[in-house]
A and B are shown apart, each in its own frame.
Chain A
């Protein structure tokens, strides 16, 4: 039983507020990804959970235990550091074995666990080497293996795959997911790569400027972002945001009209690039600027009434820069956003 409860944690570095009254509940055995742009406080939050940084206020509970004041070694967790922190004076084998040795495991036990972790991360050929003779990606895998070898109840990972090539990353990702799911390890996984977060996590917490903007299952996050920031950050290409004038509860632009949860004024329509039907004309008038063939789709970048928009169409579409198209968004999948505060409005009334 090792869920994590983060209770109104605040962290200030002098005048800088890195985390603002942040609360988060991670269930036992759950895999949570912390996703956010650089400098939003992901590492800081992870270090506070680990006990490496002291919070300005608030509490951290692991299981039912309040660990807020405990040193890292008494919190019963393992961590993969953003810059690896592999011990340079120990062989890879001893690095991976470090946590087990500190627990006083027998040599046979150590050997078994090290080999298992090394096999998982494909570092068996380097076990006798010193870290200085490894590449960045290999060192990173040693750091992950070191954390997995102790079979922790809680695992904290700070961008553990950032230095691997695309293929290896994909493979490690799925292996990591399988291993952690089968061992029931509660995992907090920091990344700024949104496909990684989508692929791995049970739930994703999107962080921005020291607060969690939204926490939800990956698909829900993708389809119904709670704020404009989340819609723009999750998904590639990012969500389109088109400002539309509203009169009498109906938004109207060109040949497009839709009822909106607002009487008069302006509303922002959040529309995914793939949730749009394209026709010769009718609907939103779209001036094509650039066509990028992405293999599975053809990505069109252009303007709707002067506002930047991206549309995915079938790769065999005959569209050329300069064309004018008519777009009909899939009405049920539009997210209506209040342009004043950037928050999504309730489902269309």
Chain B
């Protein structure tokens, strides 16, 4: 065997072991949570663990889903997340477009400010926010929570969409203008279709940020809790297999998100390379 083939083989071994380590890193915890969620009371406490889902059943999950308020909270959480997605896209995408296409005074400062919104811990903002929300009637409403979540997600949507728009050559828009488009028509016919996959990814990202956020959602609501906030209050007093079921339910959207976004991320690269 020549040296080249040996090193090639070595490289391949290293590649695959790297992949294996990463997969284990991500998948094993998820698998264990799933086992806990479906294994019922006995499954959770058994040691050594039964690593194969022999005695699993939907029983634990079903009891969990039958608990008072879970469905309402899940619906609430999804509603808040959708609002967050909408708000952060409507605000973030135009900001990103402006950052990408126009030179204006204070552009870099604006960029910094967008990121700086994340520099203030929510814990500090919580009290003034609560007071303001009670005054304005936003307290304990999905819209109120969505607004706070939008503030959290906005830096991502603005910056992601700005680099997205930067990846779309200006000449494409200019060609559209020359061939009879107004500025808005060129945006709708050329820029938007090209940016759509990336914007979708940014939107789903905003969704997941909102879905997973627990602090603001807990502080700013009493009855209209999101699923995350609800589980935090309920699960503290619940048996272990309930907590696993709740945890699994929380992970689920993220997993779906990753699979949904996967091919869009590749589509984005396709445009950038052209």
Q: Which residues of A contact B (CB under 8 A)?
A: 50-52, 71-73, 77-79, 81, 83, 85, 87-89, 98-99, 102-103, 131-132, 146, 150
Chain B residues with CB under 8 A of A71 = 177, 182
Q: Is the CB of B171 within 8 A of A85?
A: yes
Q: Is the CB of B177 within 8 A of A87?
A: no
Our pick among A73, A89, A132 for the contact of B177 (Cβ within 8 Å) is A73
Q: Is B59 an interface residue (CB 8 A)?
A: no
Chain A residues with CB under 8 A of B178 = 50, 52, 72-73, 77-79
Q: Is B53 an interface residue (CB 8 A)?
A: no
What does the 1/0 interface line of B198-218 toward A look like (CB < 8 Å)?
000000000000000000000
Q: Is the CB of A103 within 8 A of B190?
A: no
Chain B residues with CB under 8 A of A52 = 174, 177-178
Q: What total count of A-B pairs have CB within 8 Å?
A: 57
A81 in contact with B174 given A99-B179, A103-B180 (CB within 8 Å): yes
Please report which residues of chain B, range 124-167, place their CB below 8 angstroms from some CB of chain A when the two chains form the complex: none
> How far, in whole Å, are A88 and B193 apart by their CA atoms in the complex?
10
5 A-B pairs within 8 Å (CB atoms) are namely: A71-B182, A79-B178, A85-B174, A85-B175, A87-B190
Chain B residues with CB under 8 A of A77 = 178
A81 in contact with B175 given A88-B194, A89-B194 (CB within 8 Å): yes
Q: Is the CB of B274 within 8 A of A99?
A: no
Please report which residues of chain B, range 63-105, place their CB below 8 angstroms from some CB of chain A when the two chains form the complex: none
> How far, in whole Å, are A99 and B172 apart by their CA atoms in the complex?
13
Q: Which residues of B contact A (CB under 8 A)?
A: 169, 171-172, 174-182, 185, 190, 193-194, 270-271, 274
Q: Is the CB of A146 within 8 A of B179?
A: yes
- Besides the known contacts A72-B178, A73-B179, A89-B194, 5 further A-B residue pairs in the complex with CB atoms under 8 A apart: A81-B171, A87-B175, A99-B179, A102-B179, A103-B180
> How far, in whole Å, are A131 and B169 apart by their CA atoms in the complex?
15
Q: Is the CB of A83 within 8 A of B169?
A: yes
Chain A residues with CB under 8 A of B169 = 83, 85
Q: Which residue of B lies closest to A104 (CB)?
A: B180
Q: Which residue of A lies closest to B271 (CB)?
A: A88
**Whole-angstrom distance between the Cβ of A46 and the nearest chain B Cβ:** 11
Overall SS of chain A's interface: mixed
Q: Is the CB of B175 within 8 A of A102?
A: no
**Whole-angstrom distance between the Cβ of A178 and the nearest chain B Cβ:** 24
> How far, in whole Å, are A88 and B274 apart by their CA atoms in the complex?
8
Chain B residues with CB under 8 A of A132 = 270, 274
Chain B residues with CB under 8 A of A85 = 169, 171-172, 174-175
> How far, in whole Å, are A69 and B175 apart by their CA atoms in the complex?
18
Q: Which residue of A lies closest to B192 (CB)?
A: A89
Chain B residues with CB under 8 A of A89 = 190, 193-194
Chain B residues with CB under 8 A of A73 = 177-182
> How far, in whole Å, are A81 and B15 apart by their CA atoms in the complex?
43
Chain A residues with CB under 8 A of B171 = 81, 83, 85
Chain A residues with CB under 8 A of B179 = 73, 78, 98-99, 102, 146, 150
Chain A residues with CB under 8 A of B274 = 88, 131-132
> How far, in whole Å, are A146 and B182 apart by their CA atoms in the complex?
18
Chain B residues with CB under 8 A of A102 = 179-181, 185
Chain B residues with CB under 8 A of A50 = 178
Q: Which residue of B lies closest to A50 (CB)?
A: B178
Chain B residues with CB under 8 A of A146 = 175, 179
Our pick among B180, B193, B270 for the contact of A99 (Cβ within 8 Å) is B180
A72 in contact with B174 given A88-B194, A132-B274 (CB within 8 Å): yes
**Whole-angstrom distance between the Cβ of B269 and the nearest chain A Cβ:** 12
Q: Which residue of A lies closest to B193 (CB)?
A: A89
Chain B residues with CB under 8 A of A72 = 174, 177-178
Q: Which residue of A lies closest to B190 (CB)?
A: A87
> How far, in whole Å, are A102 and B274 apart by their CA atoms in the complex?
25
> How far, in whole Å, are A145 and B179 apart by their CA atoms in the complex?
13
**Whole-angstrom distance between the Cβ of B34 and the nearest chain A Cβ:** 39
Q: Which residue of A lies closest to B183 (CB)?
A: A71
> How far, in whole Å, are A131 and B181 apart by their CA atoms in the complex?
21
Task: With a 10 A CB-CB cut-off, give which of A71, A83, A102, A131 has the most chain B CB atoms.
Answer: A102
